[in-house]
Amino acid sequence: MRIIADENIPCVAKAFASLGDVTLLPGRGMQAEQVRAADVLLVRSVTRVDARLLAGSNVQFVGSATIGFDHIDRAYLQQQGIGFSTAPGSNATSAAEYVVSALLALAVQQGFDPAGRTVGIIGCGNVGSRVRQKLAALGMNCLVNDPPLQAQGGHDDFVDLDTVLRADVVTVHVPYTREGPYPTHHLVDAALLERLRPGAVFINTARGAVADNAALDVLLESRFDLSVVLDVWEGEPDISMSLLGKVQLGTPHIAGYSLDGKLRGTEMIYRAACEHFNRPLLWQVADDLPAGLSLDLRELRAAPLLAKLQAAVFACYDIRQDDASLREQLALPAADRPSRFDRLRKEYPVRREFPQSSIITGEPDGELARTLAALGFCVTG
């Protein structure tokens, strides 16, 4: 069996070796002639999978190690009888941890405490629900807007968009869609952005085109009170330097880039491929995960709770480092910026999720231990 895989899917060659010969290629420039003889195609969100890529090929199964599928022509795959799998929820934990790190970093920059503030969460699926749990652990009042989920029933705590926009923080966690009853292309448009309350924080970790980047750029020319955190951008990898220069925190589409999340994505499409071809499972993700962080916070016993939480979160994941790396593009020639954006993603350092971090607080029954445990950390004493 011949397998073509995006070179940035971690451990993909090792995982799929039992199924056949694996060839690794850059995902963004993948061409039809490169995949024509393949039986299996494994991609990420940077590869558009449709008739132009697959027509006349031998591909029987497509796996995307991503939570979204807006880059996949699913109707075409179904029409051709090609098996398909994504990795829903694989990076949801790390994306939620990204939001926590972002808010704690802004708290350092601007001198506020998230506790007692209100956050509006647009989209409460795999990522949004975890964001809600973690921000509630920080003492934030969470408002949720999700019309598709609300239409399914079973919940009674949804609010309308007007209510969400009155929150201190607005964070977006929706899939990217252009069609259907709930399209999200430019869901956050100029009119919605203008309604953000004075001093609000806006965070987008969904897809770049969920927010109108041009409108946001224009708005920030005059709304100096707003704080914006962007992990996703329209036009990736050739993103707007003007907008990057105006946001408080900007990162290169890595919110879900914990090693745990990426390997979880590999595992999910590997399992789906094995099921599709009726092959045994011979690789498991635990084989390729290093040890997590160990941190002793007892020396901070006299520090405020917020400072202790910041120490724990930043030791595990400090968004400010990713922001600094991306901002280096501002000094580069325009022609060099897209390749560097991709390189930041390809060469992303190992990042473990909160549950793999062991924290000693010295007060295992205290407020700090309870809060860290609610955030997902392993509190050992």
Q: Which long-range contacts (CB under 8 A, 24 or more apart) does 106-115 make?
A: 106/201, 106/227, 106/229, 106/248, 106/249, 107/306, 107/310, 108/310, 109/248, 110/227, 113/306, 114/138, 114/139, 114/140, 114/169, 114/306, 115/139, 115/140, 115/306
Q: What angle do CA 8, 13, 14 make, to 5 degrees?
A: 125
Q: Which two tokens stand for residue 239?
A: 């993103």
CB 32 within 8 A of CB 55: yes
Q: How far is CA 61 from CA 34, 39, 207, 256, in A?
A: 16, 7, 25, 25
Q: Report the DSSP pairing between strands 227-230 and 83-85.
A: unpaired
**Residue 228, beta-bridge partner list:** 202
* Cα 11 from Cα 61, distance rounded (Å): 19
Residue for token pair 């039986």 = 39
Q: Count Cα neighbours of 209 within 13 Å in the Cβ-side half-sphere.
A: 12
Point out the catalytic residue in the list 97, 236, 267, 353: 236
**Category of 272 on φ-ψ map: left (φ > 0), alpha (ψ -120 to 50) or beta:** alpha
Q: What angle do CA 52, 55, 59 make, to 5 degrees?
A: 115
Residue 267 falls in the annotated catalytic set:
no
* Cα 342 from Cα 294, distance rounded (Å): 31
Point out the catalytic residue in the list 44, 132, 207, 352: 207
Determine which helix (DSSP H) or strand (DSSP E) holds 319, and give its type and residue range: helix 319-327
Point out the catalytic residue in the list 44, 253, 271, 337: 253
Residue for token pair 């925190």 = 249
Residue 236 falls in the annotated catalytic set:
yes
**Residue 352, beta-bridge partner list:** none
- Residue positions annotated with a catalytic role: 207, 236, 253
